[in-house]
Amino acid sequence: MSWSDPLQGNPRYESIRTLSRGARSFVQLAFDRSTGEQVAIKFTQRAGWDDQQMKYLLRELLIHQELSACRHPHIVELRDVFMTPLHLAAVSEYVNGEDLQMFLANTGGRVSEALGRFLFQQLVLALDFCHRRGKVCRGVKLANTLLSLAPGQLPLVKLADFGFSKDVGLHGAPHSQVGTALFVAPEVMHNFSNAPYDGAAVDVWAAGIVLFILLFGRHPFLRPEDSALPEQQQMLALFTRTAASQFCLLPEEALAITPACADFLSQVLQTNPTSRYGMAQIQAHPWFRQGLPDGAAAMNDTILADAAGRPAVYKLAPEALTAMLRVSWAQ
């Protein structure tokens, strides 16, 4: 069994091609012989992980498998976990499309207000479901939001990455400085004392940043002239303006959207988390509700009620979970 084909000899999965590679992991498109479907398998090296990294990886898989048991249409489904001699392999549904970052690049760098709202509505439904299950993500960004694309149909949003997620009910309020700089909320950015913070409010902030970038093709706390600065100075400008609540729309941007949209952005991008909109306020805002598909407002209630009325169906075999908890990452 080799790095190039870690599925050689696997009785269930057959490699098709490599989708992406990172420093310590890679993702392959594979064929699942048991279902006849294509799946995405992320292979993570088992060697060289410290306790903190292992904690986040195991937490990610356990939270993702619990959310997957409810089969939410806007959350990528985790289907299986198994070990190879060199890797931990996590099998997910294959989303045949692209992430929001690629989508923006392929559509001119920004989208219309109507399309931006439609994409944002789906992201909010996914996050609201996570929060109501007691989970916070802390990793919302363009690259972690996948789109299922089909000819003649609107994009279907799928939340895909739970690497920084936390079960608040099980482990308490988050306190770590984690996330991607462009999407990290100010209360996390400046949390040098590791004080507890509201993880749901952090997710709202990141979703607001995603929406702003979709609409205008730039970060709300960066200016067009910042592009001439070195990257380190751009980040310093971002942190300084965020701390000072220096968020504003450029005149031409304000003219390009409705007043309701401008008001909505100002509510989800409040620097003070206690003043920032929560999920209930987001979903009650007239701008958010405009064009909301039939049944979408009640979808999470329906899924949660269905999950409460039947035993949990976990996609991961008990032996896989046991192996995850016992694995020696140094081997």
Domains parsed from the chain with CATH numbers: 13-94+309-320 (3.30.200.20), 97-289 (1.10.510.10)
Average pLDDT of span 105-130: 97
- Here the tokens at position 130 are 């996570």
Average pLDDT of span 294-304: 94
What are the CA-CA distances from residue 143 to residues 115, 180, 211, 235, 246 (Å)? Answer: 18, 11, 13, 19, 25
pLDDT-derived band at 308 (thresholds 50, 70, 90) equals confident
Question: 327 pLDDT exceeds 80?
Answer: no
Helices vs. strands in the chain: H and E counts, helices first? 13, 10
pLDDT-derived band at 331 (thresholds 50, 70, 90) equals very low
Q: Minimal CA–CA distance to 242: which of 291, 193, 185?
A: 185
Residue length, the chain? Answer: 331
pLDDT-derived band at 277 (thresholds 50, 70, 90) equals very high
Q: Which residue has the higher pLDDT, 4 or 182?
A: 182
What pLDDT score was predicted for residue 324? 56
Among 130-144, 161-175, 311-325, the minimum mean pLDDT is found in: 311-325
The 8-class DSSP code of residue 292 comes to P
Q: Which residue has the higher pLDDT, 137 or 58?
A: 137
| pTM exceeding the 0.85 threshold for the entire prediction | yes
Average pLDDT of span 225-240: 90
Average pLDDT of span 293-322: 76
What are the CA-CA distances from residue 25 to residues 88, 89, 90, 204 (Å)? Answer: 9, 10, 11, 29
What pLDDT score was predicted for residue 315? 52
